Amino acid sequence: MEGTGASPIAGGDNISDIDTLLDSSVINPLDRLLDKYISGCELTRTNATTITVEIGAVVCESGAGVHRFRENTATTTVDLSGGVGVGGLDAEVEADDTWYHIYAVADADATTFTAIASTNASAPASITYYRYLGSIYNGRTSNSDIDDFKWTGKGDRAKIIWDVPYSATTTVSAGSWSGATSLATGMPSTSTEVILGLSAEHANNQAHIFVRPAGSTWGVNDANGITGTGWTAGQRSCMTDASQQINYRNGVGDTGTRITVEGFIIER
């Protein structure tokens, strides 16, 4: 409807104006409303080289801002060893210790979408209509094998938990904040919200560990970290800076610490 509540096409309108009225008051508003729509399309690890994209609906967009609406009622797959093209990689050969970003693709004249993997976190090569679905890591725990993970979230926000957490550091930073500590092997460049496993040890007093986004000015009160007598451990989430970095700080006299990346949050 028009902003006034009136119907977009009135009985007295000229028939030659119908296309313009439909575009301005029906098609374009729906296009803007559904611009970032995504439902389902979760990622699961099928085997060492294959990711399954679950059923769902998605809006793919071109660089010019043109949208294509697609829905899959059956799963589709991406095979990192399947060569170049939809269902495989956009331009490369499979590599170890590499982040791959999975995209829905709507270039074909169809009602469904396909999928492709790329090392580019912004856009897949040689694809016009696409939508970012999620990111996977290849070859950290075993050469040429996709790292296993658990996924929750059916909309534009999803949580990914690693089957095997990534160890970021075991170096104690006693009494002062560490320098910028990179988590980029444990979380993709498409995320700035990490889920951490934290632990600290002290021989005979309270152990402390605090984390914060790299470069921020958080303090060291107990609400910003985890403390415990002799030993403490727990899970907490934290924002990172734009380069997936944090600062951390142990208590004075702490003798051991460990920070692992247990998962991350993506917006898609």
Q: Tell me what the mean pLDDT of segment 48-63 comes to.
A: 97
Q: How many whole angstroms separate alpha carbon 45 and alpha carbon 136? A: 9
pLDDT in tens, 112-159: 999 999 999 999 999 999 999 999 999 987 788 999 999 999 999 999
More confident residue, 213 or 92: 213
Contact 75, 55 (CB under 8 A): yes
| Cβ partners under 8 Å of residue 31, min gap 6 | 67
What domains are defined for the chain?
40-147 (no CATH), 162-267 (2.60.120)
